[in-house]
Structure 1
Amino acid sequence: MNPTNEQAQASVRVCQMLSNTYKDIHLFRFDIQTRDIYILAGENIQIIIPHNGNWRFLNETEL
């Protein structure tokens, strides 16, 4: 199972934005069960990219 094209493009955009602001990317994971991409960056930046490619910040209360 692979990420969707929308997810792939969104992940490149998000990683580029993080890189432009000199944020380290600590974890980049595609979860096969939920089909979401999870990115952990900087001190406490958590981003989720669902199959439709509409990324959002993840709150700790959602974990």
Structure 2
Amino acid sequence: MPTFHVEMFEGRTVEQKRKFVEAVTRVTCETLGCSVSAVDIIITDIKRENWATGGELWIDKK
């Protein structure tokens, strides 16, 4: 069973997440030949203050 762990900045709407998981599930099933019920996607919303790239918090990026 394919399981995807997705971390992204908070702020996406439920509708955006719904479209995302539908698209990832569809492509996964087409590519791997599995059933829709076999695909799990776990979305974790991260605050910009808790994510850094290049030594700089994203909350401080302009």
Name the TM-score class by shorter chain: 0.3 to 0.5
Structure number with greater CO (CA < 8 Å, separation at least 6) is: 2
Could you state the TM-score of these two structures normalised by the residue count of structure 1?
0.35
- Structure with larger Rg: 2
Task: Return the structure number with greater helix share.
Answer: 2
